[in-house]
Structure 1
Amino acid sequence: MANRRSFLKGSIAGAVLASLSPLSSLADQKHGEHNFSKNKGKLRFAIASDGHYGQPGTDFKKDHENIIRWLNEAHAKTPLDFVIINGDLVHDRPELLIEVKRNYYDKLKVPFYAIPGNHDHADTAHWEKVFGYEDNFSIEKNGIGFVLANTSNTKGIYLCPDNKFLKQEFEKFKGLKIVFVVLHIPPHLWVPENPFVECAETISLLHEYPNIKAIFHGHDHSLDGVFYTDKLPHFFDSHIGGNWGTAYRGYRIVEVSEDNKITTFQVNASQNPLLNETKLL
């Protein structure tokens, strides 16, 4: 369904997806600067992932101070409707979810929504207690549907999403022109070395609904581009924190115009120009 060529094309930061209309991607924008339009359009949101709050040996508090400041600055320049945090909010300590929410994400100037990753180790009850909604949920904003589903469990095992839930929500949004899906762990193995899962039923289900325009993933901190299953794009957004991944910290902006044109670009928020560093012994 996809091949190594798709992987190589999608993993190069800065690629312009000219072959995919009406959805395109630009990487390495600074602090959300992008000449989308003078007005915000129908919808504008940011998506970020992999903060790993509490990971030993990392400056996780500084990482979170930074991402909140960057997102609020981006909102001040061109308003955001909301922010999505796509998994691994904490690092193997679910009791810290309330702390990272209260001390950081609650300080965003816009609403935010979060979905678990494999390092959050939270069950449905705990997730709902902290965030006010379950670990599988959907929202509709300005006529655009969002389906967010858990892809792990309390042991951190990589799982396929609940396809029964996905189909139920896809059917609910069948009359909408645009639906986005958010899954922390991707449901397809593009190349053997990727730490993803193969979920043939999920991929088939995603392709059944032509109004599903893009899937957004976290999990692999080294990726900030796009992969494909057939012509359906799967976008990545680098990372907020943690001790590995792209040299920069960043997030992705997604914009939908009034005439339903979709644009997405990756933001190099930390403005770190270092690329492809390799240390050899």
Structure 2
Amino acid sequence: FLPQVKVVFDRLKMPYFVTRGNHDMVSRETWKQTWGMETNHIFEKGNTGFILLDNSNEKGEYVCPDLAWFEEKLKAFANKKSVFIFMHISSRKWTKYGIDCPEVNDLIDKMPNVKAVFHGHDHDEDNMKASEEKVNHFWDGHFAGSWGTAYKGYRIVESNEFGSFNTYQYNPTEQKEINNFALTMPQDPAYPKNRN
């Protein structure tokens, strides 16, 4: 089914990147052959780094991401203004189907430029949770499958040159934004001046 999905994604008028989920159940080789990228990969746009982590395997089991690879990439992006991380399954046991990866979470929480972590997997989650270190984790509900949120949608993230970002779920059937969340950085002129 992945080649058929790629045909659809290739119609997008923008670049796209994908992470392997537990239902994909393909080898790393098949993934790379299909998508042209590894199951773990990075890219950057301007002063923003993006890290896409694989936390499933060929059998569909939930696994913690490759810690050494992840740490290396976080260090490579240490001077970026913002870093966004994407992994299908939450690395915190916040949800029924999350997994507990404390070493991964420690790395995320220690990097001041990590602005957000994005997850899929939990079809009934379309919200945000913050770690004690104030790193925001977002879920995007689902756009496939027959269980979960009452709608099928996706998350939109808008970022600016100051590192501020706005994110929300979008329900394309009702053409409606859901659970909008904004993070405004102190260097952004839109940042409230009377904030303590």
Inter-partner Cα distance in structure 2 for 1:262 and 1:112: 19
Match of 2:6 among 85, 101, 106: 101
- Structure 1 partner of 2:123: 221
1:130 to 2:34 alignment: yes
Q: Deviations over 1:40-68 (max 9, x none)?
A: xxxxxxxxxxxxxxxxxxxxxxxxxxxxx
Inter-partner Cα distance in structure 2 for 1:172 and 1:162: 16
Deviation at 1:271, TM superposition (A): 1.5
Match of 1:261 among 140, 161, 164: 164
Inter-partner Cα distance in structure 2 for 1:270 and 1:220: 20
Q: Deviations over 1:57-108 (max 9, x none)?
A: xxxxxxxxxxxxxxxxxxxxxxxxxxxxxxxxxxxxxxx1111111x11111
- Structure 2 partner of 1:247: 150
Deviation at 1:272, TM superposition (A): 8.6
**Aligned-partner SS, 1:112:** coil
Bigger RCO (CA 8 Å, 6+ sep): 1
- Structure 2 partner of 1:166: 70
Deviation at 1:110, TM superposition (A): 1.0
Contact persistence 1:227–1:235 (CA under 8 A): yes
Inter-partner Cα distance in structure 2 for 1:110 and 1:237: 20
- Structure 1 partner of 2:110: 208
Cα RMSD (Å) of the superposition? 1.4
Task: Tell me the TM-score normalised to structure 2 length.
Answer: 0.86
Task: Tell me the TM-score normalised to structure 1 length.
Answer: 0.60
Paired residue total: 175
Deviation at 1:241, TM superposition (A): 1.2
Percent identity of equivalent pairs: 40
Deviation at 1:259, TM superposition (A): 2.2
Q: Give matches, 1:66-77, under 5 Å.
A: none
Q: What is the identity, as a one-letter code, of the residue corresponding to 1:140?
A: E
Runs of 4+ in structure 1 off by over 3 angstroms are none
- Structure 1 partner of 2:190: none
1:199 to 2:104 alignment: no
- Structure 2 partner of 1:111: 15
Inter-partner Cα distance in structure 2 for 1:148 and 1:272: 28
**Aligned-partner SS, 1:99:** helix
Contact persistence 1:247–1:272 (CA under 8 A): no
